[in-house]
Amino acid sequence: MDEKMTMEITNDKLEQAIKEYATERTKENLSAVLNLLRPTKLLVPAMLKAPNQPTPCFLKNSNGEQFLVVYTSKEQIPEEPKSQAILSMPFPACNSIVVKPELKLTGMVINPFSDNLVLKTELVEKLHEADMKAGQMKQVKMTPEQFNIFVKKQVEFGILPKRLHTEGEAFVKLICEEKESLVNQIFAEAYREAKLYPYTENDYSVMALDIAEDLTLIRIDLPEKGMVPTLCHRVYITFDPIMKKTGYYTIEMTKEKGIRQLAQIRPDGKREDLGEAPVEGAELQKVMDLARFDGTEMTS
């Protein structure tokens, strides 16, 4: 490790808090230590398996228990035994080592030859879990417009087709019965907060047709407000009551004026590009043909 960088890691406030905790072991003093530990970097002695492969050192006590060894500053590291390398590691990274089940560590020991503060694995696991949850909760900041596009895509290409392919006939019957009310509800629930939802039931149009004994077709027109390329102008749901076969087709906006994209979302969730969509008046027939196509090549 770079000598200058090692010297810069001092953690004076942390060392003082550790001493105060050693004098008076209260929950408040422990919390003060942990709060100072979490954003800091610690020095970790390591052995070198290879020039660029350092492995942190462990300390074994008289009971055979092993601990990860860390120091708050260079001054805390004893001259002997001398380590092959000293790593600068954030406290959360040290935690991630301690919680590895294959290492079977009892915990982490801070400044073992002076303060000898031991953090047991149970406590380290709680800190590690809290850090993981905090990381998952971090969200990319979006404008209202970006958030609207993000949620609409989730519904149009994820939630709706997944419900269709999973629930099958029951979902088809539900849409046929509740129409705009159900579609509006599905989109609204995806926004989670009512104040963020920019549409109403009147922004949707649902037309359900029993084409034949082997085909039910549902056309769902979606809001044009906030429409941008890759979002859907409308989607078609098809269902074969005899074969229990479901189909989900999208009519998507593209960057080219007047050009719309036809695609389908398969039962495995994958999107298949089906080329340029026909003019609106011919969409219905095209979707019917696709729904009835069994994948076999026709020969004359």
In the prediction, which pLDDT does 5 show? Answer: 41
Tell me how many degrees the CA angle 204-210-211 measures, rounded to the nearest 5. Answer: 110
> b/e map of 26-64 (b: 16 or more CB within 10 Å)?
eeebbebbbebbeeebbbbbbeeeeeeebebbbbeeeee
Pairing outcome for strands 107-110 and 66-70: parallel
**Residues 204-237: tens digit of each pLDDT:** 999 999 999 999 999 999 999 989 999 999 999 9
Which has more confidence, 206 or 39?
A: 206
Determine contact, residues 91/9, Cβ cutoff 8 Å.
Answer: no
pTM of this structure: 0.55
Indicate the SS3 state at residue 39. Answer: coil
- Provide mean pLDDT across the span 260-272: 96
pLDDT of residue 202 exceeding 60: yes
* Choice among 157-161, 204-208, 246-250, 291-295 with the minimum mean pLDDT: 291-295
In the prediction, which pLDDT does 9 show? Answer: 59
Nearest to 227 by CA among 255, 262, 190: 255
In the prediction, which pLDDT does 156 show? Answer: 97
In the prediction, which pLDDT does 53 show? Answer: 79
How is residue 256 annotated by DSSP?
A: S
